[in-house]
Structures are given as structure tokens and as C-alpha cells.
Amino acid sequence: MLCARARPLFSSPFSLTFSAAKHSPSLLRLPCQRSVSAVAAMSSSSTPEIIEHIVLFKVKDDADSGNVTAMLNGLNALVSLDSVVHLAAGPIHRPRSAFTHVLHSRYKSKDDLGVYTAHPDHLRVVKESVLPNCDDIMAVDWVADRVPGTLVPPPGSAAKVTFLKLKENVSDEAKSEILDVIKGLDEKLPGIDQITVGENFSPARAKGFSIASIAYFGDLGRLEALEAQQDLVNLQKEKARDLLDGVMVVDYVVPSPSSL
């Protein structure tokens, strides 16, 4: 498979933003997400942690558009699996790397993520739709540093996902400083509705990226407005520049069923 093209450090103004029915009879339809109120209630009572799972896909240049749509529909249909709290897949907005599409999903535990990974429906979508249409895949998993108030971002929400590759021999203290910088971004930079960050615990397909975060905004306009605030962002970038070997940033908008 092709290797991911790491983008230059901080080439984007916001590059430190380290930021349902049971089994559907057809994987080509997108079932409704669980209600936000129901999932939010779950997060406050029975959910001690949230696992973030991000997958990046590089669709082949000659892939048929109908097959790509079927792939996205098949992936989105996996939200109906019992172990899944949230799942949305769609195209990357303004691709800045080789990757073209992204999937974000959430789970109540690492065990639930494992159940999803091994589920026959997931394996079938990967075999029949993902592998035939993609040149490259990257995946990162982390335990969220906080439980988001809304576990199911609504359609139209915009997300910025940031992956960090640390230099060799970075101390645990320095790593903690990076994590602290990211954790505080929602207080320093306006417009972020929620942000989580953590260390990747699945290195096999992460291409060396060891810290990841996802920041959600109410819509794409809010995300882009924040990127325009260069001075605020530069203050945050300087705090971690010397500790990093690479940064990858992807933006996407949570799709609605009608958009697929």
C-alpha cells in the first residue's frame, strides 16, 4: 500500500488543533444515529470512558464513484451495531494529504471497539468495499481525556482531526505538556464545541503518529472562522513545535443520510 504523505509542520494556521435499528438488512442504507439525549444521558451515568477511533482512507484514483458511495454507505450502516456509540464516515474537506475519506466512531470501552472490529458486518464491508477501492488506510485509537457532553455530533457538524508524530526520546513530562496544551485549546480558542485528545494505543496502522485529537464545531463556517485567527493559533503552536516530527490534519463534515 502507498505510504501517507506527512504534511510540513504547522503549514496550516490551525495545525495544532489537535483539533437505530438492529442489524440493517442492507449495508447500503444509513440508519439513524442514536438520539443525542439518550447517548448524553448514558455518558453521565454508565459511561466511565469513551474510546475514539479514527480511520483514514485513500481511495484509488480510478475508483468508480458508485463503488465509493457504496463503501461510505456500508461503513455508515455499521452505526447500528450494538457496540457502537457513534459512527460517521465521509469525504475529507480540502484534503491536505494523500487521504481522501475519514471515519470517526466512539465506543464505551476498548472491548466494545474490539467487538466492532471483529463483527462479521464490519469484516464484510472491509473485504467487499474498502480494500477493493482504497490504496492506503491509517487508523488511530485513543481513550478520550474527557467524556464529551454530546457523544453523537449531529449532521452538519465540522470536525478537525489532528495527528502528532513525536520526536524520538521525548520525555513523559514533555509529552504531558503537549497533551495539556491541546486539552486547553477549547478555553483559549473560541468556536470549539468539544475536543478530546489522547495517546494512540493501536500503533500497527498509525504510521508513527502517537497523539491524536478531534475538535468539533457547530458547522464548517465556525471551523474556518477559527482558522483565520492566525495570532491566537501561533501562540499555541510555539509551545510544541520543537517536540514534533510531523503533523497531519484532516477536516470533515458529519454527513446526513441524504448526502450519501
Full residue range of the structural domain in which residue 108 is found: 36-259
Residue 153 belongs to some domain of the structure:
yes
Bridge partners (DSSP) of residue 166 are: 244
Residue 15 belongs to some domain of the structure:
no
- Residue with grid cell 485529537, as numbered in its chain: 213
Chain centroid, CA 83 distance in Å: 18
In a 10 Å sphere around its CB, with 0-12 CB exposed, 13-18 middle and 19+ buried, how is residue 82 labelled? Answer: exposed
Please check whether residue 241 is in contact with residue 10, taking contact to mean a CB–CB distance below 8 angstroms: yes
Q: Cα(30)–Cα(90) distance, rounded to whole angstroms?
A: 12
Residue 31 belongs to some domain of the structure:
no
Please check whether residue 209 is in contact with residue 242, taking contact to mean a CB–CB distance below 8 angstroms: no
Residue 30 belongs to some domain of the structure:
no
DSSP conformation class of 7: B
pLDDT at residue 46, as a whole number: 52
Mean pLDDT, contiguous 10-residue spans, the chain (260 residues): 36 35 33 42 57 98 96 97 97 91 98 98 98 98 94 95 90 87 80 93 95 94 79 54 86 80
Number of domains comprising the chain = 1
* CA-based nearest residue to 75, from 34, 52, 103: 103
Q: Cα(70)–Cα(260) distance, rounded to whole angstroms?
A: 9
Q: Does the predicted TM-score (pTM) go above 0.95?
A: no
pLDDT at residue 101, as a whole number: 98
Q: Cα(107)–Cα(197) distance, rounded to whole angstroms?
A: 15
pLDDT at residue 18, as a whole number: 31
pLDDT at residue 260, as a whole number: 54
Q: Cα(245)–Cα(211) distance, rounded to whole angstroms?
A: 12
Please check whether residue 71 is in contact with residue 28, taking contact to mean a CB–CB distance below 8 angstroms: no
pLDDT at residue 108, as a whole number: 97
pLDDT at residue 195, as a whole number: 93
Residue 91 belongs to some domain of the structure:
yes
Question: In what helix (H) or strand (E) does residue 137 lie, and over which residues does it extend?
Answer: strand 134-143
Please check whether residue 141 is in contact with residue 51, taking contact to mean a CB–CB distance below 8 angstroms: yes
Residue 255 belongs to some domain of the structure:
yes
Strand order in the sheet with 194-199: 134-143, 51-59, 101-107, 86-93, 244-253, 158-166, 211-217, 194-199
pLDDT at residue 226, as a whole number: 80
Residue 8 belongs to some domain of the structure:
no
Bridge partners (DSSP) of residue 162 are: 213, 249
Find the CATH number of the domain harbouring 105. 3.30.70.100
Residue 223 belongs to some domain of the structure:
yes
